[in-house]
């Protein structure tokens, strides 16, 4: 099957030019003008951007957490991702206490199998760090799971102490893997939570007030120091605090392989959302929490100057009814997480490119190319080049999207951006050459997504 995308403006992380893109089977076969071929299908992209499919390297589909399970599974979550212009995700498999990494990998492969409508890879969350597990990390890397998420937060759930973190980092360094770090000082947060509850403070906003930015900054600094000594790249996930970003910037200025992502919620929502009436603030209970609005400009600056290399979603949706409600009388029981897999590209285009904060090339870099490079998927994923997978989005820069629970495709009963109008809309999406969204309608198939075997660092 040969598909020709005709007349669009191709945008990569480095270039912007008018060209036709020829796809042969699953790959990009030719880029040029007046390609002398009669294709099986032609897509008219005049007046549109032709960009690499979005890559969201932080999602939690079908994830047991906080006494419940995230509301999107691999079918609903990846279809919503496709609607939003994302063609690859890297989700998190979770090692059970006493279990092996292989068991976790098999469990998450089974969750995705027959359901994922786009390609998917996995990071591995390690809840323990025994000699046997550290040995096993090598086998996982050979399977294409080349990054491990560790937690400095959530004591009793995911938390590892510094010694365990350090040993795991050393092993990652040896085998060419990357450490993804949830950097918040969990033990100290637990003291603050206990003290707040003892005073009768139960409302959602106390989730944020008991997780101060300084404790994210402290953990970020500690993670970077441990990684430096262990000689391993560290990627700070869901960075929300400008105070934490300062440490990433300083480390990068020293030439360390320190990377960080932020998420749209930290760029477009803020502490004030917790003060919405009634229990509505629970919609935004996530860790780290939303921060002060006036600090957002620091995150934008980080994105512009490459102190932040990626924007992912941390998509971890829980319905208000029956799930967030678990914390109606105690903020610490509200399941942590929020939806966003569908709105990332739209928000970043509107709030980033249209508003003049970042260029269109930088938009492509932070939503696709950068994460593909950091996590061993480039150049198969993350660019428009001959030989790359034909994961392509035709993006209409003029048409507007209004975000609403009534029209979104995520399996969750609220949208954190309800009513927000974004300029720009995903029109057509191709996943490995197959059109999976055509003029705004999903035409793909659950189960057509492939596992992405990611490369380790050489």
174 vs 413, which CB is nearer to ligand URP? 413
CA separation for the pair 136, 123 (Å, rounded): 14
- Write out the binding residues for Zn ion, residues 19-48 only, by CB under 5 A: none
Q: Which does 337 bind (CB under 5 to 8 A by kind): Zn ion, ligand URP, none?
A: ligand URP
Using the rule CB under 6 A, which residue among 75, 182, 362, 432 binds ligand URP?
182
266 vs 395, which CB is nearer to ligand URP? 266
Q: Report, in Å, the least distance between residue 349 CB and ligand URP.
A: 24
Using the rule CB under 6 A, which residue among 286, 310, 393, 426 binds ligand URP?
286
Structural tokens at position 87: 């063609």
211 vs 381, which CB is nearer to ligand URP? 211
238 vs 247, which CB is nearer to ligand URP? 238
Q: Is 52 helix (H, G, I), strand (E, B) or coil?
A: strand
Q: Residues 43, 48, 50, 55: what is their CA dihedral angle, to the nearest 10 degrees?
A: -110
Using the rule CB under 6 A, which residue among 233, 302, 317, 337 binds ligand URP?
337
315 in contact with ligand URP (CB under 6 A)? no
196 vs 392, which CB is nearer to ligand URP? 196
Q: Report, in Å, the least distance between residue 60 CB and ligand URP.
A: 5
302 vs 317, which CB is nearer to ligand URP? 317
Q: Report, in Å, the least distance between residue 355 CB and Zn ion.
A: 26
Contact 17, 10 (CB under 8 A): yes
Closest by Cα among 240, 215, 229 to 167: 229
373 in contact with ligand URP (CB under 6 A)? no
Q: Report, in Å, the least distance between residue 10 CB and Zn ion.
A: 32
Using the rule CB under 5 A, which residue among 243, 314, 350, 427 binds Zn ion?
314
CA separation for the pair 117, 381 (Å, rounded): 16
How many residues bind to ligand URP according to rule CB under 6 A? 9
8 vs 288, which CB is nearer to ligand URP? 288
Structural tokens at position 51: 């960009």
215 in contact with ligand URP (CB under 6 A)? no
Please give the full DSSP string across 360-429, using - where no structure is assigned.
Answer: HHHHHIIIIIHHHHHTT-TTTSSS--TTSB--EEEEEEEEEEE--TTT--SSSS--TTTT-EEEEEEEEE
CA separation for the pair 58, 45 (Å, rounded): 30
Helix (H), strand (E) at residue 262: strand 258-262
234 vs 360, which CB is nearer to ligand URP? 234
C-alpha count within 13 angstroms, C-beta hemisphere, residue 402: 4
Radius of gyration of the chain (CA): 21
287 in contact with ligand URP (CB under 6 A)? yes
128-134: long-range pairs with CB below 8 Å, 24+:
128/95, 128/97, 128/98, 128/160, 128/164, 129/160, 129/164, 129/165, 129/167, 129/168, 132/100, 133/95, 133/100, 133/101, 134/167, 134/168, 134/171
Q: Is 170 helix (H, G, I), strand (E, B) or coil?
A: helix
Q: Which does 71 bind (CB under 5 to 8 A by kind): ligand URP, Zn ion, none?
A: none
Region from 113-121, 181-189, 341-349, 435-443 binding Zn ion, contact rule CB under 5 A: 181-189
Q: Mark residues 232-271: x for contact with ligand URP by CB under 6 A, - for none.
A: ------x---------------------------------
The partner residues of 178 in beta bridges, in order of sequence, read: 147
Q: Which does 286 bind (CB under 5 to 8 A by kind): Zn ion, ligand URP, none?
A: ligand URP
Using the rule CB under 5 A, which residue among 48, 127, 134, 182 binds Zn ion?
182
75 in contact with Zn ion (CB under 5 A)? no
CA separation for the pair 154, 189 (Å, rounded): 9
- Tokens 């199998």 belong to which residue? 113
- Is the bond into 379 cis (omega within 30 degrees of 0)? yes
Q: Which residues bind Zn ion (CB under 5 A)?
A: 182, 314
Q: Give contact residues for ligand URP (rule: CB under 6 A).
A: 60, 182, 238, 286-287, 314, 316, 336-337
């Amino acid at each position: 099957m040969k598909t020709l995308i005709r007349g669009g403006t191709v945008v990569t992380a480095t270039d912007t030019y008018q060209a036709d893109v020829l796809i042969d089977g699953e790959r990009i076969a030719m880029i040029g003008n007046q390609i002398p071929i009669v294709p099986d299908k032609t897509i008219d992209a005049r007046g549109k951007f032709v960009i690499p499919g979005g890559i969201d390297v932080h999602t939690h589909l079908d994830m047991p957490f906080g006494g419940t399970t995230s509301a999107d599974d691999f079918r609903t979550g990846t279809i919503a991702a496709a609607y939003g212009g994302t063609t690859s995700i890297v989700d998190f498999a979770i090692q059970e206490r006493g279990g092996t990494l292989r068991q976790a990998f098999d469990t998450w492969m089974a969750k995705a199998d027959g359901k994922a409508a786009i390609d998917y890879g996995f990071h591995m969350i390690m809840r323990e760090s025994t000699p046997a597990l550290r040995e096993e990390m090598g086998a996982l890397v050979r399977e294409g799971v080349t990054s491990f998420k560790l937690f400095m937060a959530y004591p009793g759930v995911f938390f590892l102490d510094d010694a365990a973190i350090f040993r795991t980092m050393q092993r990652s360094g040896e085998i060419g893997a990357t450490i993804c770090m949830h950097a918040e000082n969990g033990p100290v947060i637990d003291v603050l939570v206990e003290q707040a509850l003892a005073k009768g403070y139960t409302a959602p906003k106390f989730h944020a007030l008991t997780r101060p930015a300084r404790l994210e900054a402290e953990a970020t600094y500690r993670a970077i120091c441990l990684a430096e000594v262990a000689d391993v790249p560290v990627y700070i996930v869901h960075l929300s605090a400008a105070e934490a970003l300062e440490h990433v910037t300083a480390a990068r200025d020293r030439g360390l392989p320190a990377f960080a992502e932020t998420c749209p919620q930290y760029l477009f929502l803020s502490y004030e959302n917790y003060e919405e009436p009634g229990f509505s603030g629970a919609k935004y209970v996530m860790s780290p929490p939303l921060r002060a609005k006036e600090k957002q400009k620091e995150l934008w600056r980080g994105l512009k100057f490459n102190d932040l290399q990626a924007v992912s979603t941390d998509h971890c949706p829980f319905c208000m009814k029956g799930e967030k409600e678990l914390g109606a009388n105690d903020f610490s029981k509200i399941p942590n997480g929020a939806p966003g897999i569908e709105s990332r590209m739209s928000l970043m285009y509107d709030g980033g490119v249209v508003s003049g904060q970042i260029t269109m090339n930088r938009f492509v870099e932070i939503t696709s190319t950068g994460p593909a490079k950091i996590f061993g998927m480039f150049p198969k994923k993350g660019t428009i080049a001959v030989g790359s997978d034909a994961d392509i989005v035709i993006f209409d820069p003029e048409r507007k999207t209004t975000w609403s629970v009534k029209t979104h495709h995520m399996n969750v009963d609220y949208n954190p951006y309800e009513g927000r109008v974004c300029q720009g809309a995903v029109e057509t999406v191709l996943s490995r050459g197959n059109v999976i969204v055509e003029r705004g309608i999903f035409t793909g198939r659950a189960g057509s997504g492939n596992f992405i075997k990611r490369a380790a660092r050489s």
